[in-house]
Amino acid sequence: MSEKSRGLSKVEEICSQRSGRAKELKDEGKKIMGYFCIYPPLEMLSALDLLPYRILGDMREPITKADACLPTVVCPFDRSALDLGLKGKYDFLDGVVWAHVCEVGEKTAHVWRTYLNPAYFHFVDIPHTIHKPAQNQFVQQLKDFQKTLMSFTGKKLTSEMLVEAINAHNEQRSLVRKLYDLRKPDPPLISGSEVIKTLKAIMSLPVKEGSELLREVISEVGERKDGVPFRPVRLLIWGSIIDDTPLIEMMEELGANVVMDDTCVGSRAFFPDVKLTPDPLEGLAYRYLVDLKCPRTFKESTYGETKKDYLTDLRSRFSYISDYAKEWKVSGVVLQSVRYCDIHGYEVPGLGDYLDSVGLPHTYIEHTYDERSLAPLRTRIQAFLEIIRS
């Protein structure tokens, strides 16, 4: 990696060969731990000096190997990630940690373990609810994870090491929130595409290096004069994973700035901090089980309620989105999902009802995690932007 590049040009450089830095560090003796989705607690990896490396797909690469072990009617993102694994593109990983993020993710974990057989693999189960017994169960799951990590690294993982790692990741999260503040002006100081690339880059770096990169980007963007052009519509994008830029670029071309997101290479992965608790695993369990906002977890307005009020339920689940909309001055919401994503699919009508109740225009689009499937969506996005403008 070039030593001269800084800030956004460094982000571009990392994204053009995302595994480059990890491979360099591996050559220096560092162990690289792949993780899938946003639920494995990264602090436990960083505390043991492992590099957490997010396993992603590649929407620009056709799936040619994964069909032999995952059917075509399941999540195309999972299939793409597995496909890259089967093609040897994750061979540099020393181990993999996977969590029970969704049903397809859970099966993909076992398939990955079978066919790629990494030297270390751990599957963390995650309860579906957030009741106190579920939180306790998740703490126990993290204790089992801790045991296998210590056995793999031959190191003891102490509370002090965990606290230090929690602080380092919280610091990074605070920097990401600062990065997102740069999207609040009109026009925003940083584009939606640049944000995705930046986050994708830091998901492949050790936490402190990632934070340093964020500082550089924030400083550069804060000073630049020729940043993002004014566009009449400000969008929030919600839904399943977006780990590349074509969809955002299409919206930008059509006259919208994507100024906020609720996706998992985005605010969903970074916004909540871990609270420091006497047993750091409890704070981690709370953050990852309760505070993360993915629809994979069942949440309700009042635990044990005997009568459900629809709007109250919707408010308890989605009011953070209207908070985002106010803070980032959003004029419309694009609900998007990869096809065959059940947990997002079931959410769409309810979220639509909620957005109606707060007067936010919205549309729903579905794609198959490839550039080709985005083309037919162009007209729909265009029509949506026209509705907002009118």
Partner 1 sequence: MAEEKKKKAIDRLKAMYPLRARIDEVYKNSVKAMREGKPTAWSMVNWWEGDPIIMAMGVEAVYPENYGAACAAAGAAPAYLERAGADGFPDHICGYARNCIGYTARMKDLGEIPPEAPMGGMPKPVLLMSAGSLCDARYKWFQALGRYLDAPVWVLELPHLGVKEGLMEGAYDQAIRFMVEELREFVGFLEKLLGKKMDWDKLEDISNDIIDMNRIWYETNELRKARPCPMHSRDFWTCMTGCLYPAGDLKALKKMYQDLYDEVKYRVENKIAACPNEKYRLVFAELPPWHSLKFFDRLAERGWSFVVESWAYHPPKPIDLSQVKDPLERIAKFTYQWFAGYFEESEKQGEQMGYFGYPYLEYARDWQCDGALLHPLLSCRTATNHLMYVQDRLIQKLNVPSLVASGDIVDLTLFDPEDTLRRAEAFEETMDHYKEVRKKEGLGW
Neighbouring residues of 138: CB distance < 8 A, sequence distance ≥ 6: 126, 127, 285, 288, 289
Query: Secondary structure of 141-153 in the HEC alphabet?
Result: HHHHHHHHHHHHH
Is 310 among the residues that bind partner 1 (CB under 8 A)? yes
Nearest to 32 by CA among 205, 243, 164, 202: 205
Least CB distance from residue 234 to partner 1, whole Å? 24
Please list every residue from 41 through 80 that binds partner 1, using CB under 8 A. 67-71, 73-74
Neighbouring residues of 55: CB distance < 8 A, sequence distance ≥ 6: 34, 35, 36, 81, 85, 90, 93, 96
* Residue pair 183/219 in contact by the 8 Å Cβ criterion: no
What angle separates helix 7-16 from helix 192-202, to the nearest 10 degrees?
70
* Residue in 5, 137, 174, 277 binding partner 1, rule: CB under 8 A: 137
* Residue in 12, 13, 313, 327 binding partner 1, rule: CB under 8 A: 313
Maximum separation of any 2 CA atoms in the chain, in Å: 63
Identify which of residues 104 and 236 has a Cβ nearer to partner 1 in the complex: 104
Q: Exposure of 71 by Cβ count < 10 A (0-12 exposed, 13-18 middle, 19+ buried)?
A: exposed
Is 88 among the residues that bind partner 1 (CB under 8 A)? no
Site mask for partner 1 (CB under 8 A), range 142-181, x = bound: --x--xx---------------------------------
Is 16 among the residues that bind partner 1 (CB under 8 A)? no
Is 109 among the residues that bind partner 1 (CB under 8 A)? yes
For partner 1, which stretch binds (CB under 8 A), given 193-201, 205-213, 220-228, 309-317?
309-317
Q: How far apart are CA 274 and CA 169, in angstroms?
A: 8
* Residue in 60, 177, 208, 308 binding partner 1, rule: CB under 8 A: 308
Neighbouring residues of 98: CB distance < 8 A, sequence distance ≥ 6: 35, 36, 37, 40, 105, 108, 109, 112, 113, 121, 122, 123, 124
* Sequential DSSP letters for 210-237: HHHHHHHHHHHHHH-SS-PPP-SEEEEE
Report how many residues bind partner 1 under the rule CB under 8 A: 63
Site mask for partner 1 (CB under 8 A), range 331-370, x = bound: ------x-xx-xx-xxxxxx-xx----------x-x----
Residue type for 223, please? E
* Residue pair 14/21 in contact by the 8 Å Cβ criterion: yes
Site mask for partner 1 (CB under 8 A), range 113-132, x = bound: xx------xxxxx-xxx-x-
* Residue in 91, 291, 309, 356 binding partner 1, rule: CB under 8 A: 309
For partner 1, which stretch binds (CB under 8 A), given 16-24, 35-43, 109-117, 208-216?
109-117
Least CB distance from residue 118 to partner 1, whole Å? 12
Least CB distance from residue 260 to partner 1, whole Å? 23
Residues near partner 1 (CB under 8 A) are 67-71, 73-74, 100, 102-104, 106-107, 109-111, 113-114, 121-125, 127-129, 131, 133-134, 136-137, 140, 144, 147-148, 295-296, 298, 300, 304-310, 313-314, 337, 339-340, 342-343, 345-350, 352-353, 364, 366
